[in-house]
Amino acid sequence: MANKKIGITGHNGFLGFHLKNQIRYKFKEFEIIDFKRSFFDNENGLSKFIDSCDIIVHLAGLNRHKSSEEIVKTNVQLAETLGVSLIKNKFNGILIFSSSIQEYEDTPYGKSKKKAAEILIEASKSVNFSFVQLIIPNIFGPFCKPYHNSFISTFSHQLIVDEKTEIILDKKVPLIYVEDVVSQILNTIGLKGINKIEVPHPNERKVSEVLMQLNKFKKIYIENGNFPKLESLFDIQLFNTFRSELNSKEFFPIHHKVNEDERGFFSELIRANTKGQVSFSITKPGVTRGNHFHTRKIERFSVIQGEAKIALRTIGNEDIIQFKLSGKEPSYVDIPVLTTHNIVNIGSEDLITIFWINEHYNPDDADVYFEKV
């Protein structure tokens, strides 16, 4: 059976990045059709894109600009251009449109999303393709753009670089993690007709509550090198979002404090206020371990003997960060989510590495996806 072909407008944005990569690694039954933003100015290119797709997820849009008129103009024009091409090409698949709870608010972005949905619904009625309008609450997650997509990413960035944080309006905010939104999108693919779905939000927090928790992360993790108490799935999601704003190249490696006397030396490897699992490996000279990434796991590599090179690369990015660690000065590197990584023994003796991870290994849900650094 042929794979379903899915195209994503706005695939380079925050939600598009996560949707594209989840499809690549978790949903092999889909083939991603390449989209370029220039297609909106190229009738032939947009037509070929539409003809190639069984499913189109329309994420492209503008949500921040100094001009409110530009936000409305851009989002409406994108919908108009897409709608005209869908009709012209007699699209008969399913179009999934990501809208926002701001539709219910009197904001330029909300108005533009509402108008865009109306345009696409008319196109759907015209040639009878299926249409899903998702009303999505406030999304947060790793690699969100500060000052743009989410107050959580903005606060995280500000705290890490020691900028002042400011709460403009301390209200309760409905929150949903980006991977949960991706699941919602993919779950709608079989729907027929015209559908409007309000995506449920699993969490609701006051802005001040979120900022208080992020401040705790800074004190416990950034300033003291310890892992905070992570009692709920939301805590883990928030912590992974927070640490995705950390510049790993500048922050790591971190040297363990070593207490040495005539007997030898003693060093603490980790203080974790949360559950986890500790493992160790012995790696022979020249051998590489890893070349995989995780979507949710929090992981620390501590080198206590030998010479190692640890390499990191965010998936979808070509930039590689490398660290050299030595057992002569025991040190560690923490691995961000969605970052493929490996460790190589570059010395002449056995390399001993201690691994800490925040969850017990489960072979039925390993959260391991292989990709070379």
Predicted pLDDT of residue 43:
94
Find the CATH number of the domain harbouring 65: 3.40.50.720
Predicted pLDDT of residue 34:
96
Average pLDDT estimate for 69-77: 93
CA distance 58 to 98: 6
> What's the domain range around 87?
4-144+172-204
DSSP classification of residue 351:
E
Q: In this predicted model, what pLDDT tens digit does every residue of 165-216 receive, in sequence order?
A: 999 999 999 999 999 999 999 999 999 999 999 999 999 999 999 999 999 9
CA distance 12 to 293: 20
Predicted pLDDT of residue 66:
79
Q: Are residues 132 and 265 in the same domain?
A: no
Residue 167 lies in a domain: no
Residue position matching structure tokens 């390399």: 351
Measuring CA to CA, which residue among 205, 229, 203, 214 is closest to residue 165? 214
Residue 237 lies in a domain: no
Residue 136 lies in a domain: yes
Find the CATH number of the domain harbouring 333: 2.60.120.10
Q: Are residues 280 and 180 in the same domain?
A: no
- pLDDT score of 1 more than 70: no
Residue 36 lies in a domain: yes
Q: Are residues 195 and 264 in the same domain?
A: no
The count of domains in the chain is: 2
CA distance 113 to 72: 8
Q: Are residues 194 and 308 in the same domain?
A: no
Share above pLDDT 70 across residues of the chain, in percent, rounded to a whole number: 100
Residue 18 lies in a domain: yes
Q: In this predicted model, what pLDDT tens digit does every residue of 114-173 receive, in sequence order?
A: 999 999 999 999 999 999 999 999 999 999 999 987 999 999 999 999 999 999 999 999
What single-letter amino acid sits at 11?
Answer: H
Average pLDDT estimate for 283-306: 97
DSSP-based three-state secondary structure for 265: strand
Q: Are residues 177 and 278 in the same domain?
A: no
Residue 158 lies in a domain: no
Residue 238 lies in a domain: no
CA distance 295 to 276: 16
Residue 222 lies in a domain: no
- pLDDT score of 224 more than 70: yes
- pLDDT score of 2 more than 80: no
For the entire predicted model, the pTM comes to 0.94
CA distance 155 to 165: 6
Q: Are residues 190 and 65 in the same domain?
A: yes
Q: Give the range among 88-102, 240-254, 255-269, 293-307 with minimum mean pLDDT.
A: 255-269
- pLDDT score of 65 more than 90: no
Q: Are residues 195 and 79 in the same domain?
A: yes
Q: In this predicted model, what pLDDT tens digit does every residue of 311-327 receive, in sequence order?
A: 999 999 999 999 999 99
Q: Are residues 199 and 263 in the same domain?
A: no
CA distance 197 to 145: 26
Average pLDDT of the chain is 95
